[in-house]
Protein backbone atom coordinates (compact mmCIF):
# COMPACT_ATOMS: atom_id res chain seq x y z
CA UNK A 1 0.00 0.00 0.00
CA UNK A 2 2.83 2.43 0.81
CA UNK A 3 4.57 1.60 -2.49
CA UNK A 4 1.33 2.36 -4.37
CA UNK A 5 1.09 5.78 -2.73
CA UNK A 6 4.74 6.55 -3.57
CA UNK A 7 4.26 5.54 -7.22
CA UNK A 8 1.17 7.75 -7.49
CA UNK A 9 3.05 10.70 -5.97
CA UNK A 10 5.94 10.26 -8.39
CA UNK A 11 3.56 9.95 -11.33
CA UNK A 12 1.73 13.14 -10.41
CA UNK A 13 4.99 15.08 -10.09
CA UNK A 14 6.31 13.81 -13.42
CA UNK A 15 3.20 14.84 -15.35
CA UNK A 16 3.44 18.34 -13.85
CA UNK A 17 6.95 18.77 -15.24
CA UNK A 18 5.88 17.57 -18.68
CA UNK A 19 2.92 19.93 -18.55
CA UNK A 20 5.18 22.88 -17.75
CA UNK A 21 7.60 21.93 -20.52
CA UNK A 22 4.68 21.69 -22.95
CA UNK A 23 3.35 25.07 -21.78
CA UNK A 24 6.73 26.83 -22.16
CA UNK A 25 7.29 25.17 -25.54
CA UNK A 26 3.87 26.39 -26.67
CA UNK A 27 4.63 29.93 -25.51
CA UNK A 28 7.93 29.91 -27.42
CA UNK A 29 6.18 28.68 -30.58
CA UNK A 30 3.50 31.36 -30.29
CA UNK A 31 6.15 34.06 -29.83
CA UNK A 32 8.03 32.76 -32.87
CA UNK A 33 5.00 32.73 -35.18
CA UNK A 34 3.49 36.03 -33.99
CA UNK A 35 6.59 38.14 -33.29
CA UNK A 36 9.88 36.83 -34.65
CA UNK A 37 8.81 35.35 -38.00
CA UNK A 38 6.82 38.41 -39.21
CA UNK A 39 9.73 40.70 -38.28
CA UNK A 40 12.16 38.53 -40.25
CA UNK A 41 9.79 38.55 -43.24
CA UNK A 42 9.48 42.34 -43.07
CA UNK A 43 13.28 42.74 -42.98
CA UNK A 44 13.66 40.37 -45.95
CA UNK A 45 11.03 42.28 -47.97
CA UNK A 46 12.70 45.63 -47.18
CA UNK A 47 16.11 44.27 -48.25
CA UNK A 48 14.65 42.91 -51.51
CA UNK A 49 12.99 46.28 -52.16
CA UNK A 50 16.21 48.21 -51.58
CA UNK A 51 18.10 45.84 -53.88
CA UNK A 52 15.46 46.24 -56.62
CA UNK A 53 15.44 50.07 -56.72
CA UNK A 54 16.15 51.25 -60.25
CA UNK A 55 16.41 54.51 -62.15
CA UNK A 56 13.03 56.19 -62.68
CA UNK A 57 11.27 54.71 -59.61
CA UNK A 58 9.13 57.03 -57.52
CA UNK A 59 10.19 56.66 -53.87
CA UNK A 60 9.66 58.20 -50.45
CA UNK A 61 12.52 58.54 -47.97
CA UNK A 62 12.11 57.78 -44.27
CA UNK A 63 12.14 61.56 -43.78
CA UNK A 64 9.05 61.90 -45.98
CA UNK A 65 10.71 63.31 -49.13
CA UNK A 66 8.95 62.28 -52.35
CA UNK A 67 11.35 61.97 -55.27
CA UNK A 68 12.30 60.12 -58.43
CA UNK A 69 15.45 57.98 -58.56
CA UNK A 70 17.95 59.71 -60.84
CA UNK A 71 20.85 57.27 -60.48
CA UNK A 72 22.33 54.65 -58.17
CA UNK A 73 25.95 54.61 -57.02
CA UNK A 74 26.72 51.61 -54.80
CA UNK A 75 24.96 52.11 -51.46
CA UNK A 76 23.77 55.62 -52.29
CA UNK A 77 20.90 56.84 -54.42
CA UNK A 78 20.66 60.21 -56.14
CA UNK A 79 17.09 61.47 -55.97
CA UNK A 80 15.66 64.17 -58.21
CA UNK A 81 13.19 66.34 -56.31
CA UNK A 82 12.54 68.89 -59.05
CA UNK A 83 14.04 69.62 -62.45
CA UNK A 84 17.77 69.83 -61.77
CA UNK A 85 17.51 69.69 -57.98
CA UNK A 86 19.08 66.45 -56.75
CA UNK A 87 20.05 65.04 -53.36
CA UNK A 88 22.19 62.08 -52.44
CA UNK A 89 20.87 59.63 -49.78
CA UNK A 90 21.72 56.17 -48.53
CA UNK A 91 19.67 53.31 -49.97
CA UNK A 92 18.60 52.42 -46.44
CA UNK A 93 16.92 55.85 -46.17
CA UNK A 94 14.34 54.88 -48.80
CA UNK A 95 11.12 53.65 -47.21
CA UNK A 96 9.92 50.40 -48.74
CA UNK A 97 6.49 50.63 -47.13
CA UNK A 98 5.47 54.03 -48.46
CA UNK A 99 7.19 53.68 -51.82
CA UNK A 100 5.20 50.51 -52.55
CA UNK A 101 1.97 52.37 -51.76
CA UNK A 102 2.86 55.17 -54.21
CA UNK A 103 3.67 52.71 -57.00
CA UNK A 104 0.46 50.71 -56.40
CA UNK A 105 -1.82 53.75 -56.74
CA UNK A 106 -0.49 54.61 -60.21
CATH of the domain at 63: 2.30.30
Give the number of domains in the chain: 2
Return the axis-axis angle of helices 37-51 and 96-105, rounded to nearest 10°: 70
Contacts 24+ apart (CB under 8 A), 24-33: none
Give the residue numbers spanning the domain of 48.
1-52
- Same domain for 20 and 61, yes or no, is no
- Same domain for 65 and 20, yes or no, is no
Q: How many Å separate Cα 68 from the centre of its chain?
A: 25
Tens of pLDDT along 23-71?
Answer: 999 999 999 999 999 999 999 998 998 888 889 888 999 998 999 999 9
Tens of pLDDT along 6-27?
Answer: 444 444 445 689 889 999 999 9
- Same domain for 72 and 98, yes or no, is yes
CB 80 within 8 A of CB 67: yes
- Same domain for 42 and 15, yes or no, is yes
Which pTM was predicted? 0.63
- Same domain for 58 and 102, yes or no, is yes
- Same domain for 90 and 66, yes or no, is yes
- Same domain for 64 and 105, yes or no, is yes
Cα Rg of the chain, angstroms: 27
Amino acid sequence: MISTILLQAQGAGGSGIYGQIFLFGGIILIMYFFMIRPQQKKQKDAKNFIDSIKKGDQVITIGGIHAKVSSIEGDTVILELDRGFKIKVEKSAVSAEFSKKINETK
